[in-house]
Structure 1
Amino acid sequence: MTQSGQERDEQAPAAAGGLRLDFAAISDVGRVRKDNQDSGYVGPWVLVVCDGVGGAARGDIASATAVQQLRKLDEPPTDDLLGQVAGALHRAHDRIGELVDEDPSLNGTSTTATVALFDGTRLGMGHVGDSRAYLFRDGAISQLTKDHTFVQSLIDEGRITEPESRVHPHRNLILKALDGIHEAEPDLFHVELAAGDRLLLCSDGASGVLDDGRLADILRGGSPDYAAVELVRASLEAGSSDNVTCLVADVVDAATPDEQLQPVLVGAAAELRKRSRGGKAGLFRGHRAGDTGELEPVAGEDPLPDNVPFAISNDPIDPEAARYAPQPPRRFTWFKRLLALAVVVGIAWMGGAAAWTWSQTQYYVGDQDGEVVIFRGVNADLPGLALSKPYETTDVTLDRLSDYDAGTVRDGIEAGSLADARKTVENLAGKQSADTGTSSTDTGTG
C-alpha cells in the first residue's frame, strides 16, 4: 500500500522569480512487490524521485540514502542551479559508497535519480537512470529526461519503436545508476517555466505502462493531489508489476494564494526514517485526497499473482532481477562469434607459421631413389603437406652401403645443423664398398 511522507515544520516560501510550486507526492508498493524500493521528495524548491536497484542488496537503502542527500537542496538556490544539482548527486553517490564500505552485504545496491531544483523561473535538472520527468504545457506533454537503458539505445539506433520498447524482454536493464562505485555522469540541463505548467516526476512503475497520451489525459485536470493519485491508480490498473511513485507540481504565480504546503517524503525514504525513529511504518493515506484503493501486496513466494497480464508473467527474465545488474545484454552475437573464430584461426595460423619456420632450420640425411640426400625440414609428413624437401644431393648410394647403414638412411638420420648433416654424409661415403654389386664391368672370355 502507499506510504505517507515526513513533513517539515517550515512553510513553503514564495519563489523569488514570481512563480511558485503547488505539489503532491504518492508512492505505492504495487500489487506484486513485497517491498517498496522507490523514494520521493517534494518541497517548494526541489522535486526528487529515486528507484532503488539491488534486490537482496537493498535497493530501498540506496534510494532512501540518495533522497536524504538530495532533499538538502530544498532551500532558495544560488544562480548555479546545475552546479548545486551535480554536487548533490555526487554526494549521494559517495554516501552510497560509504554504506557499501561499512556493510559489504550492500554491494550491488544502486538507485536511479531524477531531481529538479526550482529557482522561481526555471528548473535545474539532474538525471541518472530510467526514472522520468515530464512537462505538461498547453495541453501537450513532453518528456524532459532521456532513459539510460538498453532499450533506449535500441530506439536511438532505430532498431525498435517506443511501443516495442515497453514489451521488450530487456526493457528493465539500466545502464547508469548511483552505486558509489562507477561515476554516474548525470545529464544536466535547464528547463524554463511559465505559470500554468505542470511537472511530473515518476519511477518507471508508471512510465513503463502509461504512454504519453494516457499521462497527458490524467495530467489535464484536477489538483496535483488528484493527478498523483490517478497516475498511481492507472499504472496499477494497466498491469504495472513494480513500485509506483509519482510527484506532481503545478507552476503558479507567486501572488496566487497558497495552501502553505509542507514538504512530503514518500516511499522507502519515509519508511526507513520512521523505523530509525522507532516508529511503525504505517500505510500512507495522507496524499490529502484519501486512499487510492490498491490491492494488498501479494504474500508468499510467488512473485506474480493470477491477475498479472500474461505478457508480464511470461517475461523470460524477472524485471526486478534484471535491474539488479545494470549491464547491457549481449549484442551482435553473430559478429562476436565470427570475431572469436577469426581470432582462433589467426592464432592457429601464427602457430603454424612459427612451426614451419622452425622446421626449416632442421636437417636430416635420408634416401631418395637409392641415393643419400640431405633434406631440409623434419623427417615427418602430414596428410597433404610435406614437412621437408631435398636440399643437397650426394654421390653416396645405398647399394654401396651395408644393410645396416642403408636401413638407417632409409629411416632418416637426424642432424642438428647442415654441417652435421654433411659430416654424416662424409662418414657414410667412407663406408661405401668399392663393389657396386652390379655387372657394369664384364670380364668374360668370349
Structure 2
Amino acid sequence: MDYDLFVIGGGSGGVRAARIASAEGGAKVGLAEESRMGGTCVIRGCVPKKIMVNASAFPGQIADAAAYGWQVTQGGFDWPRFRGQLEAELTRLEGAYRNTLKNAGVVIHDQRAVVIDPHRVRLADGTEVSARHILIATGGRPFIPDIPGAELAVTSNEMFHLDALPGRAVIMGGGYIACEFACILNGLGVQVTLMCRASNILRGFDEEARAHVAAGMAEKGITILTGTEIARIDPGLVTTTAGATHETDLVLYATGRVPNTTGLGLEALGVQFGARGQILVDAHSQTSVPSIFAVGDVTDRINLTPVAIREGHAFADTIFGGKPWVADHDLVASAVFTQPEMGTVGLTEEAAKAQGGVEVYVSTFRPMKTLFAGRQDRTLMKLIVATDTRRVLGCHIVGPEAGEMIQLAAVAIKMGATKEDFDRTVAVHPTAAEELVTMRKPARVHA
C-alpha cells in the first residue's frame, strides 16, 4: 500500500485524524483537500463568523462607553478594510494547518479525490494511490432550494467575501447560522428581515431560551417573520408563498446544510447512507465497508467542530495508536453567537419533562454593565433538574458571554452534578454567572 491511511478532506476532523495517525501512531498518511486547508470551521464558518460577530458588537459597546463617561464618536464601518484583515487572518490560519500536517509527516495533495475501491483513491490529476484505510472527512455544504431566482441568493460561504455591505438584507432560515448572520448584519448597520417557516427561530433549542433570543433580536431592530417562506427571488425583490413582497439588496439562504458526499464514488462500493445523504457509521466511525471510515459533518451525528475533532482523534487512536476509544456524543455543549448570545448543554425543558419529573429553575435579570448604560437587555439563566436523582439535566443561558459560561457549566453537568452541588457552591459576586448557584425555588415543576 502507498499509505496506511488516506484522508479525503482537510477540515478539523480530517486534519486531527491525519496528524494523530502520523505523528503519534507512526502511520504513513496522505490527505487530499480540493479547497483551502482548514475546512468549513476555519475558512467559511466558525472562525470568520466569530470575528464578524465581534465586529458587529462594537456599535453597542461604543454607545455603552459614552454612557460610562467616555467621550467617543462612532464613525462608519469600513467593510473593505475589515474584509482584507479577515482574509489575511484566514490565510494565516490555513498556513498553520498546513504546517501542522507537514510537521507531522502527512503528505498533502491539493486536489479533489474520489474512492474507486475499498483500498484505492483517484486524485483529480489521474494519479491513483492505495491505502489500508480510507477516511472520509468532507464535511457539509449549504444548499439553496430550487425556486425561481435561486441563483440570485447567496449562502453563508459567500458572506465573508461580499464586495460591499448591503443596505437591506432578507435572510431565509431560522437556525443558528441564519440568526447569527441576522445579528451580524444588523450590528453592522444593515436593515435585516429574517424569514423562517417555523413558528419561532432556533428549532430544537429550549423553547423559553429561543423565545428570549428572538425577543432580544427584535429589540435590536431585526424584523422576524415566522411562518414565512420565499417563493421566488427577483433582482431587488423577494416574494413569499403568501404573495407578500419585500425589497432587498441581498438574499441569504441559511435553511440548513447537507452532508458533502456527492461524487465521492462511495455508492458503488456499497457504503450505506442515511435519509439526508449522510454516511452511516458505527461508534468507531466505521462504514459498512470495513476499510472505509467517516468523521465529522459528513456523518450528520452532531455537526460541531469539536465533535469532529474528537471523532477524528478517536479513530486515529483506535486504528493506529493501540488506544481504542469512541467519541462521546452525550451532553455536548454548544453556543449560538446571536445578540443576545445563547449557551446550552443537556436537555431542554420540553425534552426533560417528557422523560419524567423535573424542576425548572429560572432567573431573568438586567445585567449590570448594560443596565448602567440604560439598555433594556435581559439575561436568562435556566436549570433543568430531575426530581428523583436531583441531577442537573440541562442548562440554558441567554446573555453576554453565554458561550464562555456554558463551557464551565458543562463540566459540572457532565460529571453528574446535582442541584444541591450547585447550591453548595459559593457565588462569585458581582457576576452574571452567580445566578446559576443562587436560584433556590423552582419556577415550574413537571410531575
| TM-score, L = length of structure 2 | 0.24
Q: Which structure would you say has the larger RCO, counting Cα contacts within 8 Å and 6 or more residues apart?
A: 1
Structure number, greater radius of gyration? 1
